[in-house]
């Protein structure tokens, strides 16, 4: 194989790796920002990170939670990518005050994040409680 072709292929490979790494760091930043918005009960800020298709249901779900509780802190427990690096499952633990009982409680949820090629960005498309 010609030397310039090998060099070209190597450049393409390196570019692909850097894009994948950039995509992962972008995911990490967006997950943190989204959950920070939830921590401060800012549904308007959190909505920026929501999938357009699922925004209404996610906003309704979090609005219900905000009526019942106030998040004090959150921790990202785990973040996993699928092999194509286009979907991610993120496990988050929230500590919150239950406004009915005035007790501190903990809740874990799994958030599903998807990479939208058209926007070159990650969005949350689903959120399910693991523990209440």
Cβ-based burial of 110 (10 A; exposed 0-12, middle 13-18, buried ≥19): middle
What pLDDT tens digit does each residue of the chain (132 aa) get?
Answer: 666 665 554 445 444 444 555 778 899 999 999 999 999 999 999 999 999 999 999 999 999 999 999 999 999 999 999 988 899 999 999 999 999 999 999 999 999 999 999 888 999 999 999 976
Domain boundaries, the chain: 3-131
CATH number of 3-131: 3.10.450.50
DSSP, residue by residue, 20-33? HHHHHHHHHHHHHH
Is pTM beyond 0.75? Reply is yes
């Amino acid at each position: 194989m010609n030397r310039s072709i090998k060099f070209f292929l190597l450049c393409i490979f390196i570019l692909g790796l850097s894009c994948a790494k950039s995509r992962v760091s972008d995911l990490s930043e967006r997950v943190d920002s989204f959950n920070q918005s939830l921590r401060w009960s800012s549904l308007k800020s959190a909505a920026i990170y929501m999938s357009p298709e699922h925004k209404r249901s996610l906003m309704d779900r979090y609005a219900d939670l905000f009526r019942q509780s106030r998040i004090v802190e959150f921790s990202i427990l785990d973040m996993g990518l699928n092999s194509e690096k286009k979907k991610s499952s993120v496990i988050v633990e929230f500590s919150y005050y239950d406004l009915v009982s005035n007790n501190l409680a903990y809740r874990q949820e799994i958030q599903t994040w998807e990479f939208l090629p058209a926007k070159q960005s990650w969005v949350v498309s689903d959120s399910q409680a693991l523990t209440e």
